[in-house]
Chain A
Amino acid sequence: MSELLRCENLTKRYGSLVALDHVNFTLESGKLIGLLGPNGSGKTTLIKLINGLLTPDEGRILIDGIEPGVGTKKIVAYLPDNHFLNNYMKVRDIVAYFCDFYEDFRPELALQMMNHLGISENVALKTLSKGNKEKVSLILTMSRNARLYVLDEPIAGVDPATRDYIISTIINNYNPEASVLISTHLISDIESVLDDALFIQSGHITLHKSVDAIRSENGKSVDELFREVFRW
């Protein structure tokens, strides 16, 4: 396993608010990592920095040795936390659109997964429910053959059965060369598939450990530990 992502003294301020404060950590390839933290702790800021949508005020990020930019967009598949697709487009057109955008996009895989979840390729996105739109976005993201998948709240809006399908999709697409960074607060649904948990609190990484180590050291699940650490 090699180093895939490195953050060095990463700092981001919004005016007087320090969203990320000298964050240091590295992620290896071949892992599923949960980015866990309460609302407003800096999860999305970190993810936007990784994807080059924000620039750091201090420090830097290296993805496979390079700073976020055109080069990293080729190897990072990003699922934003808000709806990013054009509503007037049909599912089929969006798949073609992704083919144009990304060299590593696998259209057969995308259509097969949509078919499995009962989403027709002939419907326009605007006719789909919120949950189904989220499924489409996630399938598009996971259908890339990327090195790093960054999923910002991928399971929040879908029903539990679909959540299971999504989680098994993530396991099935697992590849030892790639890593998946998932931000979520639905920890109990996802913790059994994670390798590592990354706890973030007020812009600081407070814990970075394997899930099994957390369970054996604390005698409780990551979900329970989270509730304890982030108790109001």
Chain B
Amino acid sequence: MQWMIDKERPICPQINEQIAARIALGEFLPGERLSSVRDVAVAAGVNPNTVQKAFESLEAEGLIYSVRGSGWFVADAADKAQKKLQDLAEAKTLKLFQSLKTLGYTPQQVLALVTAVAQAGNTKEEA
């Protein structure tokens, strides 16, 4: 599994979000065993304590559960994960609108910009 760790943000929520996204997308199925804390730490190049905290926060949200002695497993909660992902995406979109507003863009202009960038991205992918 590929990890994208952004240097500016705290690491714990990033691990949390990336696992939640995979649960929401159905890449991790209910009952599936997650990699161990240490393996995730090595793969993502982060501290094991941070991964442990991320797992515990996912447990508190009901997305995964731990079985003593055998590790962490995906809970049957794809709907919860999807809701979380939706909220995250909305928050990020809101941020985008706000940051472009400071540059003088109206919501309509931002929308047009997003559409244009998405189309350019599509043609790139096709090429």
Contact = CB atoms under 8 A, between A and B. Distances in A.
B68 interface: no
B45 A168 contact: yes
Size band of the interface chain B makes with A: 10 to 19
B8 A192 contact: no
Interface in B22-53: 38, 41-42, 44-50
Contacts of B45: 164, 167-168, 171, 192-193
A192 B47 contact: yes
A10 interface: no
Nearest to B45: A192
B5 interface: yes
Contacts, number: 56
A36 B124 CA distance: 43
A128 to B, nearest CB: 27
User: A-side binding surface: helix, strand, loop or mixed?
Assistant: helix
Given A215-B9, A221-B8, A192 B38 contact: no
A195 B7 contact: no
Given A168-B42, A171-B41, A174-B38, A188 B7 contact: yes
B84 to A, nearest CB: 19
Interface in A8-35: 30-32
A142 to B, nearest CB: 15
B11 interface: yes
A34 B67 CA distance: 33
Interface of B: 5, 7-12, 38, 41-42, 44-50
Interface of A: 30-32, 164, 167-168, 171-172, 174, 188, 191-195, 211-213, 215-216, 219-221, 223-224
